[in-house]
Amino acid sequence: MRILLANPRGFCAGVGMAIEVVDQVLALCPDEPIYVYHEIVHNKHVVRRFEERGVTFVEDVGEVPEGAIVIFSAHGVSPAVRDAARARNLTTIDATCPLVTKVHMEAIRYARQGYQILLIGHADHQEVVGTRGEAPDAIQVVESPDDIPSLTIHDPDKLTYLTQTTLSVDDAEVIISALKRAFPNIKAPPTSDICYATTNRQAAVRQHAPECDLVLVVGSQNSSNSKRLTEIAEHQGVPAHLIDDLTELDPAWFSPDQTVFVTAGASAPEYLVADVCKHLIETHGGTIELRTTVNEDVEFQIPKSLKDIMRQTGVDPSQRRIRVTPPEITADAYGATPLTVGAT
Ligand code: SF4
């Protein structure tokens, strides 16, 4: 078996930052109950590990005791959630990815300027719920071109679109083209809202899936960007499976001499990818080849609300920046190092 291992894969800077926030709050406030509004990132292993460390995940800030600490997830929240937290006198720490915040800011700005906003995305996704909440009277969600005839448009010359950060670049382009045909003067956002991590992981699948017999995406079923990766492979005629971990591998997917592309959604921890590679090599023999499409060097600052807590507890936050670096691939963890020929 040839395993083509995607680089970049897995954690993006936004997920790295959100996880660092929860880690830091657990370390800084060891005697306080910690609540997180919504799954901190859409990965069941990440959530379970934090639950094992005492974190409570809630879907309603009304479940958080008055005055307690609540962390907002990487997907962002609407002003209504922030107001509800304030009304309960909660200490809020905002782990929203800065690239999601950018979309929120665009929504607020366009709404103030009198634009109607078409938000391309999945209506029930946490990020879309949060962004829509910034300007509910100005925003309509568009999930597919089929939604266009039922839109209520007051002035087609005062219309703009935004997108969820984790959409399929190809699917979004289809919807944007349909919107431009229906409303030729629709305004585009200054830069694409689909984030760098989503774009890069999709580009890797698009480039390498055609040379493979199978694509494995490590990620949870509720992870939007992970799901899109499997869809992109399938659109190219390559079977693809989204798996939370190696226990979901089905022996029926595999046959001798296959080439398997392995990647991971932006919220999937690397140890799960390593486990999958190791299992494949132990079971089927073969090699790992690293396929690098781009080197990511995005860096985020930790949120101001966390810096405030750090200062209050005597910790200097000035050096804390979040950058996700490519993991070292060791034979011990992955079953082989890249380009090693033969089974371990
Ligand atoms: S996938 Fe993109 S928008 Fe989402 S947390 Fe990562 S960098 Fe931010």
Residue 314: which region, alpha, beta or left (left: phi > 0; alpha: psi -120 to 50)? left
Q: Which of 20, 39, 127, 296 is catalytic?
A: 127
Query: CA-CA distance, 162 to 176, in Å (whole number)?
Result: 10
pLDDT at 36: 98
Active site residue 127: yes
Q: For the chain, how are helix, strand and coil distributed in percent, rounded to 5?
A: 40, 20, 40
Decide if pLDDT at 342 tops 60. Answer: no
**Probe target for ligand 1 pocket from 20, 38, 166, 322, with the most ligand atoms within 8 Å of CB:** 166
pLDDT at 26: 96
Question: Whose CA is closest to 4, among 224, 188, 192, 215?
Answer: 215
Query: CA-CA distance, 51 to 264, in Å (whole number)?
Result: 22
Taking each continuous run of H as one helix and of E as one strand, the counts in the chain are 11, 14
pLDDT at 268: 98
Q: What is the pTM of this model?
A: 0.94
Decide if pLDDT at 227 tops 70. Answer: yes
pLDDT at 323: 80
Domains of the chain as residue ranges with CATH:
2-11+196-297+330-334 (3.40.1010.20), 13-97+301-307+314-321 (3.40.50.11270), 99-182 (3.40.1010.20)
> Could you identify the atom of ligand 1 that is nearest to the CA of residue 298?
7
Query: CA-CA distance, 2 to 280, in Å (whole number)?
Result: 10
Nearest CA to ligand 1 atom 6: 14
Please report which confidence band the pLDDT of residue 317 belongs to, taking 50, 70 and 90 as the band edges: confident
Please report which confidence band the pLDDT of residue 318 belongs to, taking 50, 70 and 90 as the band edges: confident
Decide if pLDDT at 321 tops 80. Answer: no
Q: How far is CA 113 from CA 79, 139, 336, in A?
A: 19, 13, 56
Please report which confidence band the pLDDT of residue 212 belongs to, taking 50, 70 and 90 as the band edges: very high
pLDDT at 324: 85
The 3-state DSSP class for residue 132 equals helix
Ligand 1 first shell, C-beta below 6 A: 12-15, 74, 97, 99-100, 165-166, 195, 197-198, 225, 266
Query: CA-CA distance, 288 to 283, in Å (whole number)?
Result: 14
- CA 16 to centroid of ligand 1, rounded, Å: 9
As a whole number, the mean pLDDT across the chain is 95
Interval 2-57: pLDDT, tens: 999 999 999 999 999 999 999 999 999 999 999 999 999 999 999 999 999 999 99
Nearest CA to ligand 1 atom 5: 14
Decide if pLDDT at 344 tops 50. Answer: no
Q: How many CA atoms lie within 13 A of 289 on its CB side?
A: 14
Decide if pLDDT at 343 tops 70. Answer: no
pLDDT at 341: 42
- Residues 34/69, Cβ–Cβ less than 8 Å: yes
